[in-house]
Amino acid sequence: MIGKVLGNRYEIVEKIGSGGMSIVYKARCGLLNRFVAVKVLRPEFTSDENFVKKFRQESQAAASLSHQNIVSIYDVGIDDDIHYIVMEYIEGRTLKQIIREKGRLNPAQAADIAQQICKALVHAHKNHIVHRDIKPHNILVTKDGTAKVTDFGIARAVTSSTVTNTGSVIGSVHYFSPEQARGGYIDEKSDLYSLGIVLYEMVTGRVPFEGESPISIALKHIQETVTPPAEIIDGVPAGLEQIIMKAIQKDPGSRYETAGQMLDDLNAFIKNNDILFETQGFEDKESPTIIMPAVNKGGTEDRTNTNKKAREKNSRQNNKKTIIAIALIIMALIVVGYGGSILVKKLLFVDVVEVPDIIGKTQEEAEAELKKVGLKMEIRDRKSNPEFPAGTIISQHPLGGTENKVTNPVLVILSLGPEKTEVPYLINLSAAEAQAKLQQRGLVDGEITTRPSETVTVGVVMDQSPQPGLMVDEGTPVDLVISSGPEIQQITVPAVVGLDLQTAKTRIQNAGMILGDTYPQESDLVPEGYIIRQSIPPNTMVEKGASIGLWVSTGKKVVPQPVEGTKVLTINLPAGSKDVKVTVKKYQDGVEEIEYQMRHDADEGPLKVAVTGKGQVRVVVLFDDVEQWSETLNFTKEE
């Protein structure tokens, strides 16, 4: 894949990560000249047409999200059966890598990261997008501590695949909500459960449930009680533990109603680490969270013991209430006698039927299908969805093909159809600005083409389709035409080899080129001042105004010839020296000769010594037989 260009735009530079369903590469966008992350689906998933269709639709929907704590999706495409998503490139590490490195995070840092993730979920849920796979592996943390949630879109597309692909699910099952583990209805509260597990892991350094297989871990999410963080690690603030334990309640109705509520509690804890929240029992859905001032500052152990005693007391009370309720039912049945036996049968023996698949059907069609098997339908919510026409079923619980008691209604979400949005005015914006504006309106990038323009700056939008002001469905692609600047004129490189420099220069200028550097070169064949070769071959097509270099002949190579001659050496004695023996030796053709030898005083001034020779002569100057310096004299002439 390295070096491959996807969509004629994204050049793969290096592999930066991989997962069960995809491989992530760093790539350069040729159009906008920036680095991006490209997530490529593994081949085993691309062969499933339904999976690929849902993957593309969900990724396009997720591309509408624009938030500082969400990794932006720029593009979704296919190139030679390679399905890919183009995302914002983030320099940082995954939260999982940070936890592995540090063991666990301090409560303040954990709360800060959880707060940022929660902000991302608030934005996503507001746009009717549920992540479904919140885990530390999908959280990127930059060097400045900004947390960014990734893999919106792919999570929903792989929901059906992960439950059968144990290689993929093993990383996610630790963070599954109980309803995910059961294959049940999944909504925004499932994301909050997963965030609670992530926060639990940040604080304790471990996940609450481990097992030998994904199935065993999933069962623990459904059946087993979570050990509170304060019983594992000392120093966990009671308020933070309360947030975690509320988020990971097995009953969705006992969790936070919205990501906004959880964010409010995280904000309150960050402002005051000693805060306590009065939950009034996790099962009380109607009770709002009330912030209470901390009354015990005697340490974590006191708070842990108090919480533990409270849980044990609640457990005993609940068990007692259950026993009393069962006893009262038995007594009532004994009193009513035969009628009681009929009641027992009605209570304990309820018909179980197979649930029909009603996803995609209209409300009337769905109700008719369910009525045939004795089931009723309950509309849980109505949401906009570009994939389903208005009035059709988006999702159901239980799923089609599963068994359900006839007394339990089938919960559904009805589609309101795709939301409408106005196409923004994008002309004269940069490509990046236009793409950001499209994301804000819930629209996606369409085909991006370039066109020359003498008036519009390079990289600026000069046309768009659909035109601005039109009302279209969210998720509609908008095509952009980007200016490539003035049209580049191509010219033919002239042949100038063999011409004199001035003629060559004139011909180059007449062709629309610029004479660049010239390089002197000896030649026995080309006369001095004439062109030996040119840097660009003749008849090559280049842009008008291109530069060309020339090699200009300096004529034949000059060979120096040795001649007899005389050269004068100037010798300076050290200041103040007296009676110094000055000797000049010369070495010629391997023979040493004393050219000069006399005694001198420094105050006589510089000495002038004539040296005769032929060719190259090496001379050595000595003071009192100690060498001072040497040099080579050339007695030659050029021919």
So what's the pLDDT on residue 278?
65
| Cα angle for residues 11, 14, 19 (degrees, 5° grid) | 110
CATH of domain 490-553: 3.30.10.20
Number of Cβ within a 10 Å radius of residue 182 = 17
Q: Is the pTM of this model over 0.85?
A: no
Q: What are the tens digits of pLDDT across the range 490-537?
A: 999 999 999 999 999 999 999 999 999 999 999 989 999 999 999 999
SS percent in the chain: helix, strand, coil, step 5: 30, 30, 35
Write the CB contacts of 99 (distance below 8 Å, at least 6 apart in sequence). 105, 136, 201, 202, 205
Class (C level, CATH) for 560-638: mainly beta
Mean pLDDT check: name the lowest of 93-107, 287-301, 408-422: 287-301
Q: Among the options 75, 79, 112, 133, which is catalytic?
A: 133
The domain ranges of the chain are 5-88, 93-295, 350-415, 420-483, 490-553, 560-638
Find which of 114-118, 313-317, 388-392, 488-492 is predicted with most confidence, using mean pLDDT. Answer: 114-118
Average pLDDT, the chain: 84
Q: Specify whether 48 is catalytic.
A: no
**CATH 3.30.10.20 is held by the domain 350-415:** yes
DSSP classification of residue 466: S
Q: Which amino acid is residue 370, in one-letter code?
A: L
Q: What is the mean pLDDT of residues 430-452?
A: 93
List the one residue out of 391, 392, 396, 384 whose CA is nearest residue 361: 392
Q: What is the mean pLDDT of residues 561-582?
A: 93
Q: What's the whole-number mean pLDDT along residues 589-605?
A: 93
Q: H-helix or E-strand containing 403?
A: strand 403-405
- When pLDDT is averaged across residues 107-132 and rounded to a whole number, the result is 94
**pLDDT higher than 70, residue 345:** no
Per-residue pLDDT, averaged over 441-464, amounts to 92
Whether 334 shows a pLDDT value over 90: the answer reads: no
**Topology alike, domains 350-415 and 490-553:** yes
Whether the predicted pLDDT of 250 surpasses 70: yes
The model's confidence at residue 305, banded by pLDDT at 50, 70 and 90, is: very low
Phi/psi region, residue 469 (left: phi>0; alpha: psi -120 to 50; beta: rest), is left
Q: Please, what is the Cα angle at 585 between 580 and 589, to 5 degrees?
A: 175
Q: What is the secondary structure of 168-229 as a DSSP string?
A: HHTTTGGG--HHHHHT----HHHHHHHHHHHHHHHHHSS-S---SSHHHHHHHHHHSPPPPG
Q: What integer pLDDT is reported at residue 286 of this predicted model?
A: 34
**Cα(252)–Cα(238) distance, integer angstroms:** 22
Question: How far, in Å, are 386, 498, 505 from residue 553 at the CA level?
Answer: 73, 10, 15
- Residue 297 pLDDT grade (very low, low, confident, very high; cuts 50, 70, 90): very low
Q: Which of 536, 464, 531 is nearest to 497 (CA)?
A: 531
Query: What is the rounded average pLDDT of the residues 216-244?
Result: 92
Q: Return the CATH number of the domain spanning residue range 93-295.
A: 1.10.510.10
Beta strands in 249-387 (DSSP E): 276-278, 290-292, 352-354, 377-383
For residue 381, is pLDDT > 70? Answer: yes
Q: How far is CA 15 from the centre of its chain?
A: 12
Give residue 153's pLDDT. 57
pLDDT over 90 percentage in the chain: 61
CATH of 420-483, one of 2.40.30.10, 2.40.100.10, 3.40.718.10, 3.30.10.20: 3.30.10.20
Query: pLDDT (tens digit, 9 = 90+) per residue, 168-190?
Result: 443 479 999 998 888 777 889 99
CB 134 within 8 Å of CB 114: no
**Cβ–Cβ under 8 Å, residues 146 and 116:** yes
Residue 557 burial (CB < 10 Å; 0-12/13-18/19+)?
Answer: exposed
Examine the pLDDT at 119 and tell me if it is beyond 50.
Answer: yes
Taking each helix axis from N to C terminus, what angle separates 107-126 and 188-204, rounded to the nearest 10 degrees?
Answer: 170
DSSP 61: H
Average pLDDT in the 19-23 region? 78
In Å, how far are 86, 128, 634 from 153, measured between CA atoms? 12, 12, 82
Closest residue by Cα to residue 232 from 117, 100, 103 = 103
Q: Which residue has the tokens 């059907």?
A: 361
pLDDT band at 299 (very low <50, low <70, confident <90, very high): very low
The third-level CATH classification (topology) of the domain covering 5-88 is Phosphorylase Kinase; domain 1 (3.30.200)
Longest dimension (CA), the chain: 150
The model's pLDDT over 34-62, given as tens digits with 9 standing for 90+, comes to 999 999 988 888 887 777 876 777 677 67
* pLDDT attached to residue 535: 96
Give the model's confidence band at 137: pLDDT under 50 very low, under 70 low, under 90 confident, else very high. very high
What's the rounded mean pLDDT across residues 108-124? 97
pLDDT of residue 184: 76
